[in-house]
Structure 1
Amino acid sequence: MIEVKELKKGFGGDELVLKGISTTFEKGKTNLIIGQSGSGKTVFLKCLLGLFRPTEGKILYDGQAYSELSSEKQRTLREQMGMVFQGSALFDSMTVEENIMFPLKMFTKQRKAERRERANEVIKRVNLINANNKLPSEISGGMQKRVAIARAIVNNPKYLFCDEPNSGLDPRTATLIDNLIQEITHEYEITTIINTHDMNSVMEIGEKIVFLQKGHLAWEGSKETIFKADNDDVTNFVYSSDLFKKVREAVIKENQ
């Protein structure tokens, strides 16, 4: 579990990007951060990752306040975090297997044979059989995302962060990636946080949804309650895509 208490973040000057956010991200659930461009999603995610130091407030990881930990304990905590980047961020010159083994080489003292065995366990888990020796340029975008997910979970993280994991994927592949992330979250009891603008992802796996608006937490709930949100900003965001405009029109017509 990650608890956020009155989080504020600025970069000099009077204007804050994050303006006192308090929320909880639950273990074993897919927690989504959504909002329009400029709402503070990326800054919020970087604060959660420890890349930005909050101006005020606290972030607690299973009861531990990051800002109160020693440098050594902060490093240990960061090692418990997995990250799936928007563009996958794979090393072009490394094979699939080498990309996935990389965190093990960086953060563990395992022998190469042990690292390879663990890499193959997660390769199997994300359905990338027979791709071990391929380079990123030799596989599809969807497969690259699977490699990124495998690399993110190879160290058995307690916390998994995903930044726009469906970026650049076709709708069918995007749904498969969403479902894979959710399955892994449930299976390994990870606290997963996904930064997204994709309403299809929201409706597919949005077990806990945090909606940011101009640096404020404007609404939170689930995919079951988002259509009933009493908030114009949330409503406008939800119905911004053509698909959900049609859903809304159908609901209005049915109720007339």
Structure 2
Amino acid sequence: MIEVKDLQKSFGDAHILKGISTTFENGKTSLIIGQSGSGKTVFLKCLLGLFEKDSGTITYDGNIYSELSDEQKRNLRSEMGMVFQGSALFDSMTIAENVMFPLRMFTKQSKSEMQDRVNFVLKRVNLPDAHKKMPSEASGGMQKRVAIARAIVNNPKYLFCDEPNSGLDPKTAIVIDNLIQEITEEYNITTIINSHDMNSVMEIGEKIVFLKDGLKAWEGSKNTIFKTDNEAVTDFVYSSELFKKVRKMYLEENQ
């Protein structure tokens, strides 16, 4: 579990995060949504330790990050998996070498142990025969699955995803959503996803945190988001006619 209390972050005169408090539970997919400039990316980078917060606390399973030693922070980072928006695969490495990279960085496993683990996670993301391919030979959907395999190769407790469906067609995006949710439940991971994709919100949003102007404007789930009368949320979520119709149908069926 990750607990956030009164998180504040500024850059010069720009006050980006204005006292955000929330929790993210193990075994659930939590989505952070909001318009561009709402603070989503800064929030995620604070959780990852890439940005130093100004004030507030971030607690990982009872351990306050700011109170950890450098070695303890390094150990914590080894328990984090990250799926970047553009997959961020190394072009000069094969898919197997990309997936093995975190093992080389954070573990002292033998080469055979690392190869066994790479084989396992590539099979888990339905790429059992992709080891020798280069990233340039893989489709966008395959690259995302490789990125997920790399993110989970170290058996992380925490999984962070930044716009994992960016650039994917709707069908492939659903495959990636379902894969992330399956892995989250299977390994009891605390998963946090930055997303602007409302299909993802409605597909896997077990918890949704809506940010607006650096504040937590609303939180709930894919089931309760239809019921809210929070104007900021409804303006964002139901900007398309499709979701307006879906909401209307949902409210009529659950009167």
* TM-score, scaled relative to structure 1: 0.96
What does residue 60 of structure 2 align with? Answer: 61
| 1:37-116 equivalent positions in 2, closer than 5 A | 37-116=36-115
RMSD, aligned α-carbons: 1.5
What does residue 151 of structure 1 align with? Answer: 150
What does residue 244 of structure 2 align with? Answer: 245
Instruction: Summarize the Cα distance change of 1:112–1:210 in structure 2 as closer, same or farther, 3 Å threshold.
Output: same
Instruction: Kindly state the Cα deviation for residue 230 of structure 1 after the two structures are TM-superposed.
Output: 2.2
In the alignment, the residues of structure 1 paired with residue 229 and residue 6 of structure 2 have an alpha-carbon distance, to the nearest angstrom, of 23
Instruction: Summarize the Cα distance change of 1:150–1:253 in structure 2 as closer, same or farther, 3 Å threshold.
Output: closer
Contact 2:83 2:161 (8 Å CA) reproduced: yes
Deviates more, 1:224-233 or 1:178-187: 224-233
Does the residue aligned with 2:226 lie in a helix, a strand or coil? helix
What does residue 8 of structure 1 align with? Answer: 8
For 2:108, the aligned partner's letter is K
Contact 2:83 2:147 (8 Å CA) reproduced: yes
Contact 2:226 2:247 (8 Å CA) reproduced: no
In the alignment, the residues of structure 1 paired with residue 70 and residue 250 of structure 2 have an alpha-carbon distance, to the nearest angstrom, of 54
What does residue 236 of structure 1 align with? Answer: 235
Does the residue aligned with 1:19 lie in a helix, a strand or coil? strand
Instruction: Kindly state the Cα deviation for residue 212 of structure 1 after the two structures are TM-superposed.
Output: 0.3
Deviates more, 1:159-168 or 1:103-112: 103-112
Q: Where does the alignment leave 5 or more consecutive residues of structure 1 unmatched?
A: none
Contact 2:5 2:20 (8 Å CA) reproduced: yes
Does the residue aligned with 1:181 lie in a helix, a strand or coil? helix
Contact 2:226 2:250 (8 Å CA) reproduced: no
Counting matched residue pairs gives: 254
In the alignment, the residues of structure 1 paired with residue 208 and residue 237 of structure 2 have an alpha-carbon distance, to the nearest angstrom, of 12
Deviations 1:165-209 (A, max 9, x none): 000000000000000000000000000000001000000000000
Which structure 1 residue ranges, 4+ long, deviate > 2 Å from structure 2?
245-255
Does the residue aligned with 1:229 lie in a helix, a strand or coil? coil
Instruction: Kindly state the Cα deviation for residue 240 of structure 1 after the two structures are TM-superposed.
Output: 1.7
